[in-house]
Every structure is written in structure tokens, then in C-alpha cells.
Structure 1
């Protein structure tokens, strides 16, 4: 039995018979070709693939909702807390002359001893009174002086256990054991504490002719070595501040000649301080507060290279 659905339509074998069939097949192929081309063009346009259609590409990108990019929160960097140091910015103190009145065993004196460093009673904080022969108290404006001894080779670390010997003239410009031969005031020695500090109570020194007002000091590595100035690690001087000196010397009854002597001298013309650098002078000049009536408090650094 023949399946009619599989039979080809009847046709002749002549050209006239084939022309309608050929025309129908050509039309069908053209239609298929058109549909295929249209579909490809639509696909390309939808993907933004045309180099010449830049606007289409941009529109596709901007038309979409962008996915936000998470911004990482920076982790804070911990800042280390620096270890505090006793002082900063110290310089090496210059070596200065100990002058003609040291009473440290390096010269002779007209007083009761040429070496106060070996005398009983020299280790003291308040040095306003004599401790050899008399108990006379030096007159003048009270001055409390704290010195901090530091090592310039170790970030200004304090030097504990060092002995500091100081001396200065009295309000009239005289030195005990020499020009004030019967007296031993305004001399003393102390040992630095854990902070490298020593504190002395004295009077504001006078200003004598030819010198800027000053305080002498010597530093020794220990109290046991402080038996002679020959063993000193440093011999130097402090330059008193001009403003405080001017205020103190305005009382010409207490300080009879200091104002006129100060008027004739400057730091630059002084034969001790005149050749020092600005940094050295700044360190050698005590920082001072107070008043003539209440007394003054002063502090200063002493820089050693250890």
C-alpha cells in the first residue's frame, strides 16, 4: 500500500513543467536567506559589536544598574609611644678656666685651706654659710639652682652618681678663702641623683670688673674622685642671664658695684664666654624665674661626653 504523504507531487519532465517549481524553490530560498540575515544583524546590534555604533555601546553600559564596589576601610596603623627622655637637644659644655679662686687643690689660697674638696662639711646643698672657721652667711638675693648632668653621647641621658662642685663670688665680687680669706661660703658639692640632678641654694653672684656675672663648676665621675680639681671630668662656668642680673643689681645697696660693672661688659667681650657658640651659650645660661623680693629659681644642663 502506498503512503500518499511520501509521494512527490506529479509533474512532467519538460521545461515548461519545471519552471513553476524552480520559481517556487528560488522564492523560498530567498525568504530563508532574508530571515537568516535579519536575525544575525539583530544579534550583532544587541551586543554592541559594531565599531561604528559607539552610542549604542555606551547606552547599553549606562543603562545598566552598576554593582557598587565595596571600599575597604583602612586599618589604622598603631603609633608607638616614644620612651620619654630626661632632656633633649643637649650640647657638650665647653671647658673653661677655673680661674684664680677654685680652692680645689690646684693652687694656693690665703684662707684656711687651698682645697675645700677635702674639708669636712663641703658636701652640702645650702652653700650660703661658711663652714670653716666661721658660720657667716653670705648676703644677697636668694638663688636656688638645679643642674642636670647628661651624657651627650647617649641621647642626653642623665648621669647619676656624678659629683658637682660649684663656687661663685659674693655680692661684692669677693671669693671666699681668697679675697674673703676668713670665709668659706658659696662653695659646696653634691652628688647627682637618678635624674642626673643636683640642687644648690646660694645667693645671686655679684658682677666684678672685667667679667660677665658667672658661677664656676667642676664635675667629677664620683664623690670619691672629687678630692682635687685635677680629676675633674669637666671644668666650666655658667653665664647669668642679663635680665635677671639687671634686676638684681638695681639694688645698689646690696650689690654696690655690680650695676656699673655689668654696664661695661658683654657676653661677646667676656674673656671666657666670648668665643663660645650660640648653642653653648644657650646651655651655659640658666633658665631663671622669680623676683628680687622672692628670690630666683634657676635650672641648667651640663653636657658631658661619656
Structure 2
């Protein structure tokens, strides 16, 4: 018998059981550590495992190109809010310039993380993102009856060192025929975010049903309840071909507000 075997002979069965438990705990810990080390290798899409839009394996799927819709406000279809003084901002709940008005609704913070789908999913700093969506009643500022003199729920920001922009806004309505969503366009720099012709990508963010159900049960969103019942992600004319990379991760509640996060891989 080897010398180190004698170290445990004196304790008898009790000592043997103690050692066996310790050995099992070490193995369990090893399995946990190994599993944790593999997590960053799982997927990319909408899952941000590092907080900066990367997933660890150096690949990510380019976000689909989607229509800007009929109410972009970027000069391609009528008014151009991108030339308004004050449009570069994080809080988009109020109108800017000569317009005055504030959109009511449940608070929503939207963080988009722009990454390079052509590289290793590295953050893209110094790009500009223009974001817009409808209000609590399903109306688009600049276009819809009753809010043509408003330009709220529209704003532009420059991506930081993490490729991120964060907007403070309100939870959009569900209007007839469309799943609840948020539009955004990407420009190569803040200086070029002045007209649609300079954009390099356009897409949309989808909001999860559970959060929509919670919000639409509150005052002011009553029309959204029936509208949401008549549409699904699979029937929506934008998201029906698959919304995995466009479905935001949303947390929060109707009292404190919600936070929506989405990774946005583009080819540059």
C-alpha cells in the first residue's frame, strides 16, 4: 500500500464518507466551471453574453433589413426630422424645435448594441442610430392625425465605445395589422445622419408578448389589447420570416418602467 493511502486509515468509515463527499463536491464544482466556460460559445443573435454585443465565438448573424415603413421622418417620405435642432438626444419623449408636446405612456428604456457582423462581432463606435416609433395611441408624429405638429418619439445618438446607444422613451402601442415594434436606421457617422440617403442599414425591433400584455392592461393602451389579439409574430408582415435576431430582451414592470435590449449586428 502506498504511503499516502495510510493517511486516511485511522478515521474508519466516517472518514471515508467525509472524503467521498469532498471528492463528489470537487467533481460537481469542476463540472459547473466547465459548463460556465462554454456559455460564451453559445449562439449570438439576440443573446449578449458579454454586455457589448459579442458572444465569444467571434461570429454573429447580420440583423435582417426591414422596411422603414410609411412614417420614417427621414426625408425619404415627406418631413425630415433629422435636420431639426435638438434631434440628437437620448430622451425622445418630447418634441424638439418649434414643436411642443410630450408623449404619454409607460416608460421604456431602449439599449441597442451595434456590432460588426463582418468581423468578430466587435462593437462599432462612432456610428449613428436614428430610432422612432408610434405613441400610446398608435400614432406617428409628423404624419398621423392629431400629431402632425409633433416630432416626439424620434431621436438620434452616436454609438459609444461599447457600440451602444440608450434611448428613454415610452412603450409603443400595438396598432391594427402590426406586431408591436420600434424602427431604427444606422448611419456611418453622426455628421451623415441628416437624410435617408446616407443610411447603411434599416431594421426593426420586436417587443415580446408578455411585456406587451402587461403594458396594454394599463390606462391609455386599451385599443392595443384588441389589436394584439389579431396579430402574431408569425403572421406579421415584417417578422413572419423569423424574428429571433430582432426580438428584444425586456425586463421591468408597469410601475417602474421597462428596459429593452437588442444586439444589432451589421456588415461593415
State the TM-score, normalizing by the size of structure 1.
0.68
Q: Does 1:234 align with 2:201?
A: yes
Cα shift at 1:203: 0.1
On the 8 A contact 2:91/2:169 being kept in 1, the answer is yes
Indicate if the aligned counterparts of 1:133 and 1:182 stay in contact, CA closer than 8 A: no
For the residue of structure 2 that corresponds to 1:243, the secondary structure is: helix
Contact 1:133–1:183 under 8 Å retained in 2: no
CA radius of gyration, larger in: 1
Alpha-carbon displacement from aligned partner over 1:133-187 (angstroms, at most 9, x marks no partner): 3331100000011110000121210000000000000000000001020111000
Give the Cα–Cα distance (whole angstroms) in 2 for the partners of residues 145 and 90 of structure 1.
Answer: 21
Deviation at 1:301, TM superposition (A): 0.6
Select 1:124's aligned residue among 83, 89, 96.
Answer: 89
Which of 103, 126, 134 is the aligned partner of 1:169? Answer: 134
The answer to whether structure 1 residue 178 and structure 2 residue 148 are counterparts is no
Per the TM alignment, residue 261 of structure 1 is displaced from its structure 2 partner at its CA by: 0.2
Q: Which ranges of structure 1 fall in alignment gaps of 5 or more residues?
A: 1-80, 109-113
- RMSD over aligned CA atoms reads 1.8
Q: Does the residue aligned with 1:216 lie in a helix, a strand or coil?
A: strand
Matched, 1:304 2:247: no
Give the corresponding residue for 1:282: 244
Name the structure 2 match of 1:75: none
1:190 equivalent to 2:152? Answer no
Distance, in Å, in 1 between the alignment partners of 2:107 and 2:248 is: 15
Question: C-alpha distance in 2, partners of 1:173/1:132?
Answer: 23
Aligned-partner Cα distance in 1 for 2:239–2:98: 34
Q: Does 1:254 align with 2:224?
A: no
Does the aligned pair in 2 maintain the 1:132–1:183 contact within 8 Å?
Answer: no
Deviations 1:227-270 (A, max 9, x none): 1112111111001111100110112x311300100000001110
Q: Give the drift of 1:90.
A: 2.8
Greater RCO, CA 8 A, separation 6+: 2
Structure 1 stretches of 4+ with a deviation exceeding 2 A read: 132-135
Query: Which sections of structure 2, spanning at least 5 residues, go unmatched?
Result: 1-36, 38-48
Q: State how far apart, in whole Å, the 2-side matches of 1:206 and 1:101 are.
A: 15
**Equivalent of 1:213 in 175, 180, 202:** 180
